[in-house]
């Protein structure tokens, strides 16, 4: 009896030891597999839209454009490396999505009542923005110019415009562009009550969801650029960050402006992190767009949505 009792505890440590060793080996294998999986998922992301974007936006000879790094997702190893060497923050914005897969890109932006009129000046990124309140005729031409280069921009739509041109609004959304709120009927918000401001924003959000299947949150462009602390606070309370601009293309303020004048003005004022104000209703802008995009490309700028621009900060 006594000897048996003694032998059992003696054998146990050996078995336990073997068991622990086996467990450790298993653990090592699991960790190894995980490391490989993480590596593969970082460097070989699924890539239909990556390819398209890379091919069109990032010409291989343009170092600065590549450094801008925060392309929608880290894609090819080369790009990843370029980003890594300049220590770009890895806050990898989502793409605005290709046609169909409409990703709300701006979900993670912090909404405050602070005014935003530019992104970081540390990378050669630029956000072209298109306000829609008048005509929709130039829209197909604008969308074509962007699609040819695989670019996504931000479109600030009024609710009335969506109501009047539902097809154009849908085309913008389906092409994967980012939507922002430009009020319902384009009044100067500084002359509205808090409640009227809320109403303007809510009605537009509602119709955007209904017609485009997309939210306009959290981007708000004040009509006429009319804003103050109160307007921004109410907008923030409704879930919107107020987006002003760095460069006004003058396509809505200057009569008889030509495409060349727009290109010259925009490129003369261009700087890293710029938000450019343009209009969906401007024929001159639609015609200038290919030139502007070529000029930006030649100078190593990469065109992104407003939320991508702001997240690169």
Catalytic residues, by residue number, are 131, 279
Within residues 216-235, the interface with Zn ion by CB under 5 A covers 223
Question: Considering the complex, what minimum distance in angstroms separates the CB of residue 131 from Zn ion?
Answer: 4
Only one of the segments 6-14, 49-57, 131-139, 258-266 lies at the binding site for Zn ion (rule: CB under 5 A); that segment is 131-139
Separation CA 5–CA 223 (nearest Å): 88
Please tell me the count of residues contacting Zn ion according to CB under 5 A: 3
Q: Which is nearer to Zn ion, 80 or 131 (CB)?
A: 131
Separation CA 55–CA 232 (nearest Å): 39
Q: Which is nearer to Zn ion, 106 or 129 (CB)?
A: 129
Q: Which is nearer to Zn ion, 70 or 277 (CB)?
A: 277
Question: Considering the complex, what minimum distance in angstroms separates the CB of residue 170 from Zn ion?
Answer: 20
Of 310, 288, 77, the C-alpha closest to 180 is 310
Only one of the segments 26-34, 110-118, 215-223, 226-234 lies at the binding site for Zn ion (rule: CB under 5 A); that segment is 215-223
Only one of the segments 121-129, 132-140, 236-244, 254-262 lies at the binding site for Zn ion (rule: CB under 5 A); that segment is 132-140
Q: Which is nearer to Zn ion, 180 or 223 (CB)?
A: 223
Separation CA 216–CA 155 (nearest Å): 9
Q: Give me the 166-205 binding string for Zn ion, x by CB under 5 A, dash otherwise.
A: ----------------------------------------
Q: Which residue number is nearest to Zn ion in terms of Cβ?
A: 131
Q: Omega into 218 within 30° of 0, i.e. cis? A: yes
88 binds Zn ion (CB under 5 A): no
133 binds Zn ion (CB under 5 A): yes
Q: Which is nearer to Zn ion, 88 or 178 (CB)?
A: 178
Separation CA 270–CA 265 (nearest Å): 8
* Among 131, 178, 205, 238, interactor with Zn ion by CB under 5 A: 131
273 binds Zn ion (CB under 5 A): no
Question: Considering the complex, what minimum distance in angstroms separates the CB of residue 232 from Zn ion?
Answer: 17
Q: Which is nearer to Zn ion, 70 or 286 (CB)?
A: 286
160 binds Zn ion (CB under 5 A): no
Site of interaction with Zn ion (CB under 5 A): 131, 133, 223
């Amino acid at each position: 009896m006594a000897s048996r009792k003694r032998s059992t505890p003696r054998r146990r440590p050996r078995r336990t030891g073997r068991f622990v060793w086996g467990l450790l080996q298993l653990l090592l294998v699991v960790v190894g597999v995980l490391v490989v999986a993480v590596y593969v998922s970082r460097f070989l992301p699924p890539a239909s839209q990556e390819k398209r974007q890379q091919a069109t936006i990032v010409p291989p000879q343009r170092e600065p454009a590549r450094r801008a790094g925060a392309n929608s997702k880290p894609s090819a190893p080369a790009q990843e490396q370029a980003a890594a060497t300049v220590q770009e923050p890895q806050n990898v914005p989502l793409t605005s999505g290709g046609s169909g897969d409409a990703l709300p890109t701006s979900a993670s932006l912090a909404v405050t009542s602070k005014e935003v009129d530019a992104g970081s000046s540390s990378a050669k990124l630029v956000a072209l923005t298109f306000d829609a309140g008048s005509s929709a005729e130039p829209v197909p031409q604008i969308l074509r110019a962007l699609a040819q280069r695989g670019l996504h921009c931000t479109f600030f739509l009024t609710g009335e415009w969506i109501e009047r041109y539902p097809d154009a609004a849908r085309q913008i959304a389906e092409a994967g562009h980012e939507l922002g709120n430009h009020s319902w009927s384009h009044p100067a918000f500084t002359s509205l009550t808090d409640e009227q401001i809320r109403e303007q924003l809510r009605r537009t959000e509602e119709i955007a969801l209904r017609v485009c299947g997309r939210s306009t949150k959290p981007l708000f462009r004040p009509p006429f650029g009319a804003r103050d602390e109160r307007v921004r606070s109410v907008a923030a309370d409704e879930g919107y960050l107020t987006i002003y601009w760095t460069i006004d293309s003058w396509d809505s303020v200057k009569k008889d402006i030509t495409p060349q004048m727009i290109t010259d003005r925009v490129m003369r004022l261009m700087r890293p992190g710029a938000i450019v104000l343009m209009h969906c209703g401007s024929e001159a802008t639609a015609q200038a767009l290919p030139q502007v995009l070529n000029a930006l490309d030649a100078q190593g700028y990469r065109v992104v949505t407003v939320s991508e621009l702001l997240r690169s900060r």
